[in-house]
Structure 1
Amino acid sequence: MKRLITKLVSLLILIGAPSSAFASSYIMHTVKPGDSLNSIAQEHKVSYNQLTNLNGKEELYAGSLVKIRPIAGNKDIRIYLNDQIVTSDTSPYMENGRTFVPIRFVAEAIGIEQINWNGQNEEAILMKNGVTISLPIRQSYAMIDNKSIKLDAPINIYNGRTFVPLRFVAEAFNVDVQWQESTASVKLYTKDYKTLSIQTEVKSASYSQEDLYWLSRLVHAEAEAESFEGKLAVANCIINRKKSKDFPNTIKEVIFDKNWGVQYTPTANGTIYNTPSEESVRAARMALEGNNNIGESLYFLNPKKSTNSWVIKNRTFYKRIQNHDFYL
């Protein structure tokens, strides 16, 4: 009879403890029998030198992982659960278009009730709400309640952790998954959260459909890659201007204000007209309903990109949220 060792105590090195650090995310390749760096380079249309620079010239063995290239734009893959970022001590990687994450990370993120280890078959077993998933190491299949499911890339060991396909595991446990390529972000939404999810209709008589329309677009254009807290802060800066005697008295007029020159780059480059994400709509709506996380701030900028020294020299710094500095 197969012996299950609960909680994976004996596999701590494979699962690891959570942390808040990010490393680099890569496109990976699982070595197959007969593979060489030359053949892998040809398969992925990269140079041999690029592979040796990323991986060295150590002997390959079947089942090991080879770095092909960093994620486009040298981005780290970021994971969000119900619009809040969640982190792991080992960065996710991608293979065959699938995002792989440490098994403990996904288990804790979506509230897996029980994690077991089958030493005889070398497989992790996850259980929640009557659903059981078996994830055999270095295999390109998994089992859901004894039904075999083919995977696009194998479960593997990387940086001392067991890595599993995030979408497969999440969706098996009834968690919605969205991939946002522009920011290399994976968004996870539990069903109970989705029932309270983004509504584009007006929820309060204190603001109009036009207010929500333009504010959500400005938030998305200015803070798409920011955390939800950052999006909420940007939205509140616009609202604070609307309330100030020094700025126009409607959301739309504040956004398109040119009294002292273009105030927001998206109105000049056209990104203000892009369709906002659900998270941007939610941030705008919450700000309009009175959820203020940035006090009376009227200005924000990215100090790494901004060429506007006037704000820095003439306004009072209030707070930094991710990549934006906010000023009163």
Structure 2
Amino acid sequence: STVTESSIHINKRVSITNQGDINPDLAVLLSTSGTTGSSKLVRLSYNNLQVNAESIAEYLGITEDECPITSLPMSYSYGLSVLNSHLLKGATIVLTNGSFILRNFWSTFNKYQCTSFAGVPYSYQLLKKINFEKIDLPTLKTLTQAGGNLSENYQKYFMEISEKKGIKFFVMYGQTEATARISYVPHENLKNKLGSIGIPIPNGELKLYSDGNLITESDREGELVYFGENVMLGYAVDRSSLKNGDELDGVLYTGDLGKMDNDGYFYITGRAKRFIKVFGLRLNLDEVERMIENYLHLPTACIGNDDKLQILIQTEREDVSIEVRKLIKKMYKLHDSVIKVNIVQRIPVTSSGKRDYKRMFELL
């Protein structure tokens, strides 16, 4: 029989133990980490999962003919969204525990004629290292990237490969608190919008606020606030939280700072809490990271406090340290004594591939 979109829904449980202790709308608990690395549990409803899957399927153009391969944990909101959006459309999904840096993964990809690959920034850094452009993948139609900022150099690299091979490359933005997805860059516009997180997903709305006031003009910084049915019910801090209903009413203050251009495309400029103040100079650590990455074309991470700026560079080149110091002093007029450059073999990342700032503080 034919499976139609209208016949596929994320069903509520039939029965639960101690039903009064758990809200009947609660579908899943997912962990997330803020800038401090402290874990929280996000309460997502059946409707959250349903509407976000529908939006993703719409803008990616997913049909029953698609065949993604699992490349992210299903316990991670991005990985779960790949699963749900394709199941919604009756697509086939290839399940594997294999690592995409190994040849067997891509042999499986070709064996089952997979059509898409999803990855976080670290995934794409590794793909470039293994010469992804030389891997023969005749059925690959779509690449998607989310889970953090992918530097413009990497975006351009994969965009150019995609153009040559007729692949659609989508750069996306989201948070677990929004079930998964908040915005995306239409693949055909990426060339002119490198560095952007794009436009809101279908049935979602993204706005900028500063001190509680809506920002309507372009190129003015404010906090990104998302509006949509995919916004979580709220956080779970203990078992008693599981009986709570919808505490956010579809409004999510992302904690990300951003700007909007004249075309309505959004750009993240940093995290509201990712700032330090050195010698009276307020530094946006995310901005410093991007600046160094775009200059050196090397994976970079920045942490610090009001006494010292700590910079981690993933490279084997010891001379990079001098180059970075000169760059920081030129850009921000900081004294040598507050700049520490750390050459590392690998920048710590979480299980979902995001930079693990908490681990960096522990190591340094």
Would you say same fold, with TM above 0.5? no
TM-score (norm 2): 0.28
Structure showing greater Rg: 1
